[in-house]
A and B are shown apart, each in its own frame.
Chain A
């Protein structure tokens, strides 16, 4: 790593932190200006998430799907295809897992067979659904963002239909599926923290995706295509197939996310609309600068402000929705290339000037 690169990495980190700080400050200002008792509300927002073992547990639990969805979005974002179908896959994978688990329930499979089987279902669903926008993009040049958003709406209705006509439990008063068999429910770990065992899955995904990104030829190709498609084409990489493959892999990971959330956190499938996890995944991937290793940190941060907002919502008079505004600001600040770019360039320029002077001085002495 030379000097310029070092400055760039340092500034990048500083920039992300500054972006987060500004967004967090905005959140505090919003809370301060609209609340009846600002001091108490802000205290709740900042310290609330750590106030009990249960809340710390739910913070981690929330960060688990964010992490896996963030990893899934890393694939899409790495090749610069904003394929937002992760949102839909998260829902349909949970739905399909429920349906599959209920279908094989009479066979009484042990958990050791059941859980892996469900993950196979989830990965197949995810890959298959991600295939649709990816192939339409590849063969017909259909805009991947528009197609994936339309597909999400379709998936939402489709899952509602399955829920209402195929797996509905008519003995309960609300709309929900029958309970999935116990062998498909993943137990929670760490006693009173009640952290779902999806944590293990999330860590596993993190390791696999990071290795794939940084230690395999395909990962290198993906990063190359994302960084400079024209150059990749010039050196003989098939940009189309690499981005196609990346989207399928992203879909598979998103499938894992949906299945984990379903089996780790719920006993019934009861979503009737997409849950927003795909967009949270995008935010996490943007925050982590499409680097899978940083994804869990970004996910924890997002979970922290979400739980903070929840705490404020239950005890104060502030609706949780203000967090989405804060999220938008974070994406804009962190992704903005010119945010603090002037400072970075100035520092690099100064360093270069210093180097040049040192060299000239050395020459003069010689």
Chain B
């Protein structure tokens, strides 16, 4: 125990806190996109576990398309691949009437192997494209004046372009869901598909639209993974981030702003794992568990709060009924 405390203390003292916070914001970026994608699906009444696979496909798509015409073509390619994978899942689930969970598990399985397969065909490598393909990076943008604010400037205003886009996407998704006609339809399908159908909204069509939007968001998330987090594609590089984004959405009951904040929290747990790994002598295996343990614990805590609240409401209504 004494050794543990000592190791932790030296580890914490050695951390560069500004860098730590900046890393956390950076690592939260793909989670924000994933959580927003999940939120759109969730508002339409679908629990989309395929985000993991969609991000993985997009990450590979980004690298491949970038070879053809630079970083922006890569970004576009990632979005297209994300869109395509969203269409595959929605086709199987909505038109093919496969259980959505099963569809997504099958898709993720196929994505894990399929990306390696395609990577092997193109480069002859099975683990990473780093040696065989040229690296492209989405530029970092420092916002003038704001970047000079101490601490906040480094943490918030010297980030990848996609990080700003993620912040904007939070607003865009909120606007889409709350202020547009399509958002209203999406939510009504999620609330009660039969009622929505009865007033002439096509549930299937709305489902496809929801998957298209979440596919585009996953495309950005994937592009961030392979063109900003690192600048190559790596076997299974998403590594559960899709599921973590999904949990972030779940914690905030699909509210875009809440989902983004929850993603930020998971970004911190991810950054804690990455930073501590380089700093302390503590077995790395336990540090690598941090993001996953944090996810499970936060799901439990949030659901516990919800259940307690619900019970209180039930009790309250019982009292007023008397």
Residues in A lying within 8 Å of B, measured CB to CB: 34, 82, 84, 136, 140-143, 145-147, 149-151, 153-154, 157-158, 160-161, 164-165, 279, 282-283, 286, 319, 321-325, 327-329, 331-332, 335-339, 341
Contact A319 B105 (CB under 8 A): no
B300 interface residue (CB < 8 Å to A) = yes
Q: Which A residues are CB-close (under 8 A) to B106?
A: 327-328, 331-332, 335
Q: A140-B299, A161-B283, A335-B99 are in contact. List 13 more A-B contacts (CB 8 A).
A: A149-B240, A153-B239, A154-B289, A157-B288, A286-B102, A319-B126, A321-B126, A322-B117, A324-B112, A328-B106, A328-B114, A337-B98, A338-B95
Q: How far is the CA of A286 from the CA of B99 in the complex (A)?
A: 11
Q: B313: shortest Cβ distance to chain A, in Å?
A: 16
Q: A88: shortest Cβ distance to chain B, in Å?
A: 11
Contact A136 B285 (CB under 8 A): no
Contact A324 B114 (CB under 8 A): yes
Q: B73: shortest Cβ distance to chain A, in Å?
A: 25
List the 7 shortest-distance A-B pairs measured between CB atoms, nearest first. A324-B113, A328-B110, A331-B106, A161-B285, A336-B96, A337-B97, A321-B113
Residue of A140, A164, A165 touching B300 (CB-CB under 8 A):
A140
Q: How far is the CA of A157 from the CA of B289 in the complex (A)?
A: 7
Residue of A34, A82, A146, A286 touching B121 (CB-CB under 8 A):
A34
Contact A146 B303 (CB under 8 A): no
Q: A332: shortest Cβ distance to chain B, in Å?
A: 5
Contact B96 A141 (CB under 8 A): no
Task: Mark out the residues of chain B between 103 and 150 whose CB falls within 8 Å of any chain A CB in the assembled complex.
Answer: 103, 105-107, 109-114, 116-117, 120-121, 126
Q: A192: shortest Cβ distance to chain B, in Å?
A: 32
Q: How far is the CA of A142 from the CA of B296 in the complex (A)?
A: 8
Contact B240 A157 (CB under 8 A): no
Residue of A146, A323, A328 touching B107 (CB-CB under 8 A):
A328
B157 interface residue (CB < 8 Å to A) = no
Q: How far is the CA of A161 from the CA of B243 in the complex (A)?
A: 24
Contact B116 A154 (CB under 8 A): no
B101 interface residue (CB < 8 Å to A) = yes
B231 interface residue (CB < 8 Å to A) = no
Q: Which B residues are CB-close (under 8 A) to A158?
A: 285, 289
Q: Which A residues are CB-close (under 8 A) to B103?
A: 332, 335
Q: A146-B246, A336-B98 are in contact. Are A282 and B105 (CB under 8 A)?
A: yes
B295 interface residue (CB < 8 Å to A) = yes
Contact A140 B307 (CB under 8 A): yes
Q: Which A residues are CB-close (under 8 A) to B98?
A: 332, 335-337
Q: A157-B285, A335-B102, A336-B97 are in contact. Are A142 and B300 (CB under 8 A)?
A: yes
B286 interface residue (CB < 8 Å to A) = yes
B32 interface residue (CB < 8 Å to A) = no
Contact A321 B120 (CB under 8 A): yes
Q: How far is the CA of A145 from the CA of B47 in the complex (A)?
A: 11
Contact B109 A327 (CB under 8 A): yes
Q: B311: shortest Cβ distance to chain A, in Å?
A: 13
Q: A153-B240, A161-B283, A321-B120 are in contact. Are A146 and B110 (CB under 8 A)?
A: no
Q: How far is the CA of A279 from the CA of B304 in the complex (A)?
A: 30
Contact A151 B296 (CB under 8 A): yes
Across the interface, name the chain B residue whose C-beta is closest to A322.
Answer: B117
5 A-B residue contacts at CB 8 Å? A149-B240, A151-B292, A321-B116, A325-B110, A332-B96
Q: How far is the CA of A153 from the CA of B238 in the complex (A)?
A: 13
Q: How far is the CA of A160 from the CA of B283 in the complex (A)?
A: 10
Q: How far is the CA of A283 from the CA of B113 in the complex (A)?
A: 15
Q: A150-B240, A153-B240, A327-B109 are in contact. Are A136 and B296 (CB under 8 A)?
A: yes
Q: Which B residues are CB-close (under 8 A) to A143?
A: 47, 247, 250, 299
Contact with A along B165-189 (1 / 0, CB 8 A): 0000000000000000000000000
Across the interface, name the chain B residue whose C-beta is closest to A330.
Answer: B106
Contact A146 B247 (CB under 8 A): yes
Q: A327: shortest Cβ distance to chain B, in Å?
A: 6
Across the interface, name the chain B residue whose C-beta is closest to A338.
Answer: B97
Q: How far is the CA of A341 from the CA of B95 in the complex (A)?
A: 12
B293 interface residue (CB < 8 Å to A) = yes
Contact A141 B110 (CB under 8 A): no
Contact with A along B277-307 (1 / 0, CB 8 A): 0000001011011001101100110011001
Q: How far is the CA of A282 from the CA of B111 in the complex (A)?
A: 16
Contact with A along B81-103 (1 / 0, CB 8 A): 00000000000100111110111
B49 interface residue (CB < 8 Å to A) = yes
Across the interface, name the chain A residue whose C-beta is closest to B305.
Answer: A140
Q: A150-B296, A338-B95 are in contact. Are A319 and B110 (CB under 8 A)?
A: no
Q: Which A residues are CB-close (under 8 A) to B47?
A: 143
Q: A51: shortest Cβ distance to chain B, in Å?
A: 24
Task: Mark out the residues of chain B between 233 and 248 whose CB falls within 8 Å of any chain A CB in the assembled complex.
Answer: 239-240, 243-244, 246-247
Contact A142 B97 (CB under 8 A): no
